Structure 1
Amino acid sequence: MTRPKLLIFDLDGTLIDSRRDLIECVNATLRHCNLPPLHDDRIAGFIGDGATALVERSLQASAGDPSFRHHKALTFFLSYYREHLLDHTEVYPGVLSSLAALMTSPNAPLMAVLTNKPVNPSRRICDALRLTPYFFGNYGGNSFTTKKPDPEGLLAIWREAEQLGGERLQAHEIIMVGDSEVDIRTARNAGIGAWGCMWGFATSKMLAEGPDALAQNATDWLALVQAGDGVP
């Protein structure tokens, strides 16, 4: 395995545990639409494709109608989430120390965030939880014309990293790190490697996509990077 020069991280379920805040905001939205709440695990299964998909899937599941739409629901959700996005959300254990170790390691890889969450909430969360200094960029589901698993955003980050580093990067030198099948598919669509995180929201779906390596916890990231140099 080649030592990676660029690591692109998912946010929810990978760097941060936002499960409780997202669930509570979805159920607040359902109440706003006069619909019954959903079980936590049902909502968690809808996370990963951005706010629009999360709200739409939750509305349809609560209403019991696959065609159900509520034009004001997404607006309410986004407004409510802006006020509550840090009520319970926290960094997963070991993430901050692992990012610090990666940043200070010899031949440190460049690092960025690519999430399907809208970019402003993503940056607010990363600022508040002291994640921002580790990344040269933080891009959300509305930063580009498409979302993951379309590779557009990843390819843009790839080009930016080349400009920052002053060298061309090969596909085998780039890794997408995430907890869901969306992240693995994004990596495959861009022709790069993928590491799966075993502590997120969609472990079984992620595993079904066959990531190249697995991290049991965040401290495994440094070991995976070092493995490219033959470092045990």
Structure 2
Amino acid sequence: MLQALFFDLDGTLTDSQLGIVNSIKYSLNKLQLPELDDATLKLFIGPPLLASYQKYCGLSAVDAQQALLAYREYYTDKGILENKVYAGIPSALAQLQQNYQLYITTSKPELYAQQISDHFALSQYFTAIYGASMDETRAGKSEIIAYAQTETGLVHGQNLVMVGDRENDINGAHDHGLQSIAVTYGFGSQDELSAAVPSAFATAPTELPSIVKQLERPL
């Protein structure tokens, strides 16, 4: 029996592109690094930032840490609230909350995820929020899901559904035997999400309650 839903944050609950992109641009400028095109900047949204700085900027682990510190200078001051809730998310969460436990599981630092959820009145829908550690030693989606399962005691993957917009969300669900819903209104491309083979797709937040209902199955 389906018990709970794990929700990604960026690209699933909120459109955080402006704040994240501005924070990355600030960090690149401060460290005098080459500018990145818009398509590459968008790829930063979702996965752990340290890994993205190394992958897309060619930085060493040490330099990526410096870039992350610069990123957070802007993000904590302005970027965190350069953000908006997707239309239809509050009503979808309100419907789902009637039948399931809802949790946020994000690669964003847990502190920031809590601040965003509080500011945008999303916290009322979630039993708890699980995110990355500030040093990103816990940051990958598979790690976050494992952390959330341990903290909640929801250890049976078949009782859970992961909802997210990037391949790391879907692959993390596969790692732990969870069903998954790939939302196509976020930041992941259709090709990326299809290749990850989710249990279902949602093209809009309003579709989520009915799709979750379709995924219900006995143990």
Q: Is the 8 A contact 1:50 1:118 kept in 2?
A: no
Counterpart Cα distance in 2 of 1:20 and 1:5: 34
Amino acid at match of 1:213: A
Q: Is the 8 A contact 2:106 2:144 kept in 1?
A: no
2:94 aligned with 1:100: yes
Alignment of 1:147-162 (within 5 A): 147-150=139-142, 152-162=143-153
> What is the CA-CA distance between 1:133 and the residue it aligns to?
1.1
> What is the CA-CA distance between 1:194 and the residue it aligns to?
0.9
Counterpart Cα distance in 1 of 2:28 and 2:137: 28
Bigger CA radius of gyration: 1
Change (3 A) 1:207 1:229: closer
Alignment of 1:1-232 (within 5 A): 4-60=2-58, 70=63, 72-104=66-98, 108-142=99-133, 145-150=137-142, 152-162=143-153, 170-203=156-189, 204-228=191-215
Amino acid at match of 2:205: A
> What is the CA-CA distance between 1:132 and the residue it aligns to?
0.8
> What is the CA-CA distance between 1:170 and the residue it aligns to?
3.5
Q: Is the 8 A contact 1:148 1:183 kept in 2?
A: no
> What is the CA-CA distance between 1:156 and the residue it aligns to?
3.6
Q: Is the 8 A contact 1:46 1:57 kept in 2?
A: no
Counterpart Cα distance in 2 of 1:132 and 1:59: 34
> What is the CA-CA distance between 1:67 and the residue it aligns to?
5.2
> What is the CA-CA distance between 1:159 and the residue it aligns to?
4.2
**Higher helix share goes to which structure?**
2
> What is the CA-CA distance between 1:180 and the residue it aligns to?
0.6
Q: TM-score, normalised by structure 1?
A: 0.83
% identity of equivalent residues: 29
Change (3 A) 1:132 1:33: same
Q: TM-score, normalised by structure 2?
A: 0.87
Once superposed, what is the RMSD of the aligned Cα atoms?
2.4
> What is the CA-CA distance between 1:54 and the residue it aligns to?
3.2
Residue deviations 1:98-129 (CA, integer Å, cap 9, x gap):
0011113xxx1101011111111111111111
Gaps of 5+ in 2: none
Aligned length: 214
